[in-house]
Structure 1
């Protein structure tokens, strides 16, 4: 069953898929029915491949059905990080791929008439005065190094878009945007089914047998395929230790108000602030304010979630002090040490993608499509993504916990000091 989120209660596609209860064969098997897996399934099915998707829970159950829904340009934390980690040529190619990812969303929404409240506009706001020079530098770097137009806003212009005078400027990307992530993912799933993709729910993979053919075992059946795509991301668990140690599930949470008037976020764009432990927010198709963020660096569900989010929201919109949240929910997103996605092959016929680090709405769809194209023989863009640097996390649980606690304390101190 889906978590009790606003997205689940406003879903417009009531897709269902059977549990796998037999042994089947296909060209490509995919683990995970989020944006990566379903995007790969759609791309492959459009090209005539016989595809089977195995989902442990329900379609779009994980991050893809719970996220903030923000569509953000870029494949990493920021342009400077991409240049430093990838070099100029690969950084520019990766950034261009992220723009293609945004365009792919628009193309698919139009082609398949996906009802997902797709809207344009995305901005990062300066939470402190001293944050604005960094945002200005980031925008100038995007313009100079990537040829990408980012608008620099002063405090007054920022207030016009957000309806709040609590920010000290912003950078605005008209090409970014936001959407209802569950409806988008389910719309892709419906399209994949229409092209013949087989989707299975409640069919958790319990064992993978690698080889020239790959065999996936579930509780009541199996899938044997020529290729495998591992797309479980933050919910991979211990199924594939060889890649899970490069990715860390981190909890991200959202609370939704009742529908509000247009004085709150009049630009109707997606927003996130410049803090390390940042808040993000947007309005849905009915005018509800969705306020999200992280309360820590683990996947533990916070006990005082609504109180924390309400305090953050009313610090920006004090006029909402009497407004209660109608829904609150959370889920895990996967992040990497370098906060860039992790792509690769475990063997020539086994592909994986994970660790989108906050850029998943756009990059996961392109990631799935890029894997599909690599399987079809066009691997140039997949090879680019596979060159992104990775760093393993500590295997020792105590060392891991100590490291997370230290990072959390560091970020909180930095945010407190501005």
Structure 2
């Protein structure tokens, strides 16, 4: 099950050395801030608060970064799960530029924290976004718009240049983002934890928050072993706990994706050390990692149980794009549970009474969790109000089981559109060659 503790079943867990488990909350403690959730958003918030001299206690129900924060694809790039075009249509160009700038702040934060502490966490540079159908005019227009409107450098690559990097007939034109990079996300999360503790934050594992109740001018947060009395509470639980803070819990939909890692390969079809993804709505994303293994991700579903024969399903997807890989052994396969809001933008905000939230990063969380942690820490420590730029994307009821059904139907519809786009592209090429 995705909701279970999968300690040790991912390639990431197999390639880190965790310190001994941190203590659980016992007895009564006091702090200025309690951060609930030990993923990337919570760890960044705790680190930045501690750096600002604010006393902070972080509660993690299981182990730090055991959820999506330590199980994701590891891509770090500007932007959000929601396309910037959609943001621009809703808010206008100026507001979209401001939000995109904040997403860049998150990317720069991850890059800088890694560079000064553990450069080995960074595993490669660049992100290649490939089209599954021919559209040179559309791709060039998109690249030009990102440069002119958002100052985002992207290199346009034609079919030949794309296939020099990823040798498959499934891909056509592409855009190479040289400002993106990819990382070992679990090592990064554990690095943040060590820095937060060094700065004075208290991190507790095995300490699920059971209740949060008003207590005078602050709040009482109870766990099975103790109680924290604090002035502020920051909820960073994504889709893993939707009962604790009802306004955000009912606004988040759990969505699963899957990742596999092969045995070490000798191959000549993936010729880039950049991260790669394709243009399908629920497309593939992949990269070469240590020992020339291929990390392959894909599929999106609202089903929260891990499918049977996951490794074989991921392998079939992999070789459908790169048949020259043959029959690679899958050494690791796992699921990860993401949190999405209906508008596909992160939920970052406050009720104005000491409760704050940073959640629903929607599968684009490496940069946006960093951004959210910085924004909320600044808001609490120095009353900075930059986080208010996300006020247009507040918590909205996601529809419960009806919302999950609608999302799943939407993904099936998008996958059908993907197949139709690819068939039309194939038919057009056939007509050109016969003419």
TM-score, length-scaled by structure 1: 0.94
CA contact under 8 A between 2:114 and 2:122: conserved in structure 1? no
CA contact under 8 A between 1:117 and 1:285: conserved in structure 2? no
1:137 corresponds in structure 2 to 141
- Determine helix, strand or coil for the equivalent of 2:393: coil
2:361 corresponds in structure 1 to 356
**Does residue 206 of structure 1 match 2:225?**
no
Superposition map of 1:85-104 within 5 A? 85-104=90-109
- Give the distance between the partners of 1:133 and 1:378, measured in 2 at CA: 46
What's the CA shift string for 1:172-225, capped at 9, x where partnerless?
A: 100011101101000110111111111101100010013521111000101111
What's the CA shift string for 1:251-294, capped at 9, x where partnerless?
A: 01100001224634322111111111211111223321110112
1:10 corresponds in structure 2 to 15
Residues 1:198 and 1:275: Cα distance change in structure 2 (over 3 Å): same
- Determine helix, strand or coil for the equivalent of 1:331: strand
Superposition map of 1:263-278 within 5 A? 263-278=268-283
CA contact under 8 A between 1:20 and 1:222: conserved in structure 2? yes
1:414 corresponds in structure 2 to 417
Query: Could you say which structure has the larger radius of gyration?
Result: 2
- RMSD between superposed Cα atoms in Å: 1.8
Structure 1 residue 413: Cα displacement: 1.5
Structure 1 residue 114: Cα displacement: 5.8
- Give the distance between the partners of 1:400 and 1:231, measured in 2 at CA: 22
- Give the distance between the partners of 2:35 and 2:120, measured in 1 at CA: 25
Q: Please, which of 225, 231, 251 is the counterpart of residue 230 of structure 2?
A: 225
- Determine helix, strand or coil for the equivalent of 2:195: helix
**Does residue 161 of structure 1 match 2:165?**
yes
Superposition map of 1:281-296 within 5 A? 281-296=286-301
Structure 1 residue 159: Cα displacement: 1.4
Question: Structure 1 regions of 5+ residues with no counterpart?
Answer: none
Superposition map of 1:14-413 within 5 A? 14=19, 16-113=21-118, 115-130=120-135, 133-210=137-214, 212-261=217-266, 263-388=268-393, 391-395=396-400, 397=401, 399-413=402-416
What's the CA shift string for 1:82-111, capped at 9, x where partnerless?
A: 211222121101111111111111111122
- Give the distance between the partners of 1:260 and 1:18, measured in 2 at CA: 40
TM-score, length-scaled by structure 2: 0.91
CA contact under 8 A between 2:218 and 2:230: conserved in structure 1? yes
- Give the distance between the partners of 1:73 and 1:303, measured in 2 at CA: 34
CA contact under 8 A between 1:252 and 1:292: conserved in structure 2? yes
